[in-house]
Amino acid sequence: MTKKLHIKTFGCQMNVYDSQRMADVLAPLGYGATDSAETADMIILNTCHIREKAAEKLYSELGRYKNVQDQRRARGSDTLIAVAGCVAQAEGAEIMRRVPYVDIVLGPQTYHRLPEMVAQVTRARDVKSNGVNCRGQGVLDIDFPAEPKFDFLPDVRVEGPSAFLSVQEGCDKFCTFCVVPYTRGAEYSRNVADVLAEARHMVERGVREITLLGQNVNAYHGRRNSGSGRPAGLGELIRELADVDGLDRIRYTTSHPVDMDAKLIQAHRDVSELVPFLHLPVQSGSDNILHRMNRRHTRDDYLRVIEKLVTARPGLKLSSDFIVGFPGESDTDFEATLALVSEVGFIQAFSFIYSPRPGTPGASLADRVPEDVQSDRLTTLQALLNDNQQAFNQSCVGEVMPVLLDRHGRKPGQLAGRSPYMQAVHVMGPETLLGEIAQLRIIEALPNSLSAILASPDAGGRSMQETRRVAV
């Protein structure tokens, strides 16, 4: 590699996957990854628009990269600056206007065109260095092209035993608070054959665990191959993936409660590779707020889905997302959220204060909740969620769990990885276990991780992976 590429990623796992794909598409042009922005020939900011603070971060980061660009120019080197992701999609023209040193602005659906954009900017730079006035040489591409980017990206490069695989993009749900349907566009599912090919490619390169990604991943309905035919749902896709030799663990995120269909629930019953853990955002425990959010389900519907999941896979645990202070949220509505949390006992969760996003229906709703009430509610909710999380972590002490050891721990001789429930676990163990799924006995629950010892295969102990199969 002759040139250095620095990518800074904000937002969700889809962006993490996309950042890797942008690196893949630029590799043939001679770009290799660097962690240091200061030495980079090209910097890409992959942005998130989900909450106000996420977008603010972009402008402060850009200021920092302008200094890098200036300093490198003073030394005779150039730095291309590109803004990708959801802020680029939502505010691309404004970024181009406001930030003249940004060279490329591209939306999430046009990453396969990145080499062409780089070539265009580089050509304009050459012309400029020959003394020609070349104003407005920046490239803006925020199309939702007819051709899916996936068909034009090179083979994915993987590092380590755990990988993301994007199977679905965009969203047609239009929750009233959310920008995703606008920034990522309409729902699109990759076909089954392509997903399987990418999974096999990953497994051949040492991947043991795949997390299937989509903004609304369980709305997945991919064709079997590029031709016609009945689409397969996520449950069917998971069954096919489970047949890939060497793929030991499957996760998927993020799901919407209304798309948890019978086949997907049955996959939780039948597919042992599927972890007994699911992130299923509910946002609120109040029917009134769920309706105002256009979530298309009630609190009871949500509880029923969980009941079916846990019947199918005893021991399955849940995590969720919550928004507090959505317009119209009364004390009673908020209490319904607290009650739901107590009832379900989520083992992890993300919770946020509602952030009105320009262009979404929620932004023009009346009955805004005052900021101090919003932050009080967030504090109360987070305390309860944290209690649940700590209680679950404590309950794991003494259990034996399969942990995918994918990295070194902080201490010499220590390895670290994730439990089936995404808990960080560390253990003293031989280097040969790196990249392996090891049976570990949890001996202590610390605030942010679990401490474990190697469990010998005949050590007995209850295994949290042991599940009883029952009919859905």
Q: Which residues bind ligand F3S (CB under 6 A)?
A: 11-12, 14-15, 48-50, 85-86, 179-180, 183-184, 215
Q: What is the DSSP letter of 273?
A: T
Closer CB to ligand SF4, 256 or 292, in the complex? 256
Neighbours of 128 (CB within 10 A): 13
Query: Which of residues 69 and 255 has its CB atom nearest to ligand SAH in the complex?
Result: 255
Distance of alpha carbon 378 from alpha carbon 406, whole angstroms: 33
Q: Quote the least distance from Cβ 211 to ligand SF4, whole Å.
A: 17
Binds 357, which of ligand SAH, ligand F3S, ligand SF4, none (CB < 5 to 8 A, cut-off by type)?
ligand SAH
Q: Which is nearer to ligand F3S, 34 or 355 (CB)?
A: 355
Shortest separation between residue 123's beta carbon and ligand F3S, angstroms: 30
Nearest-approach distance from CB 245 to ligand SAH, in angstroms: 31
Residues that bind ligand SAH (CB under 6 A): 50-51, 177-178, 180, 215-216, 254, 256, 281, 283, 321, 323, 352, 354-355, 357
CB atoms within 10 A of CB 270: 15
From the list ligand SAH, ligand F3S, ligand SF4, none, partner contacted by residue 48 (C-beta under 5 to 8 A by kind): ligand F3S
262 close to 472: Cβ distance less than 8 angstroms = yes
48 sits near ligand SF4 (criterion: CB under 6 A): no
CB of 386 to ligand SF4, least distance (A): 23
* Structure letter (DSSP) for residue 156: P
87-92: Cβ within 8 A, 24+ apart: 87/47, 87/48, 87/49, 87/54, 87/55, 87/58, 88/47, 88/142, 89/49, 89/142, 89/182, 89/183, 89/184, 90/49, 90/179, 90/182, 90/183, 90/358, 90/359, 91/49, 91/55, 92/140, 92/142
Min dist CB 68 to ligand SAH, Å, is 30
Interactions with ligand SF4, residue window 84-143 (CB under 6 A):
none
Distance CA 106, CA 143 (A): 8
Is 171 a binding residue for ligand SF4 by CB under 6 A? The answer is: yes
Token readout for 246 is: 């060497």
- Residue 350 is a binding residue for ligand SF4 (CB under 6 A): no
Which of 55, 140, 180, 440 touches ligand SF4 by CB under 6 A? 180
Judged by CB under 6 A, which of 112, 256, 268, 357 binds ligand SF4? 256
> If contact means CB under 5 to 8 A according to the sort of partner, which of ligand SF4, ligand SAH, ligand F3S, none does residue 49 touch?
ligand F3S
Q: Which does 321 bind (CB under 5 to 8 A by kind): ligand SF4, ligand F3S, ligand SAH, none?
A: ligand SAH
- The residue among 181 and 429 lying less far from ligand SF4, judged by its C-beta, is 181
Looking at the Cβ atoms of 138 and 281, the one nearer to ligand SAH is 281
CA distance 136 to 105: 13
Percentages helix, strand, coil for the chain (3-state, rounded to 5) are: 40, 20, 40
Segment holding 268, helix H or strand E: helix 262-270
Q: Which residue is nearest to ligand F3S (CB)?
A: 11
With CB under 5 to 8 Å by kind, the binding choice for 174 among ligand F3S, ligand SAH, ligand SF4, none is ligand SF4
DSSP structure string for 55-124: HHHHHHHHHHHHHHHHHHHHTT---EEEEEHHHHHHHHHHHHHH-TT--EEE-TT-GGGHHHHHHHHHHH
Residue 352: which of ligand F3S, ligand SF4, ligand SAH, none does it interact with, CB under 5 to 8 A by kind?
A: ligand SAH
Work out whether 178 is an interface residue with ligand SF4 (CB under 6 A): yes
Question: Is 403 in contact with 452 (CB distance < 8 Å)?
Answer: yes
| b/e sequence 155-190, b meaning 16+ C-beta within 10 Å | ebebeebbbbbbbbbbbebebbbbbbbbbbbebbbb
- In whole angstroms, the minimum distance from the beta carbon of 21 to ligand F3S comes to 14
Q: CB under 8 Å to 28, separation ≥6 — which residues?
A: 115, 154
Shortest spacing between CB 349 and ligand SF4, in angstroms: 15
Half-sphere exposure of 410 (CA within 13 A, CB side): 4
Which residues are within 8 A (CB) of 307 and not within 5 positions of it... i.e. 6 or more apart?
A: none
Q: Which does 354 bind (CB under 5 to 8 A by kind): ligand F3S, ligand SAH, ligand SF4, none?
A: ligand SAH
- Is 420 a binder of ligand SF4 (CB under 6 A)? no
Q: Of the candidates 110, 216, 419, 423, which one interacts with ligand SF4 according to CB under 6 A?
A: 216
Q: CB of 427 within 8 A of CB of 415? A: yes
Q: Give me the residues that bind ligand SF4 (CB under 6 A), please.
A: 171, 173-175, 178, 180-181, 215-216, 256
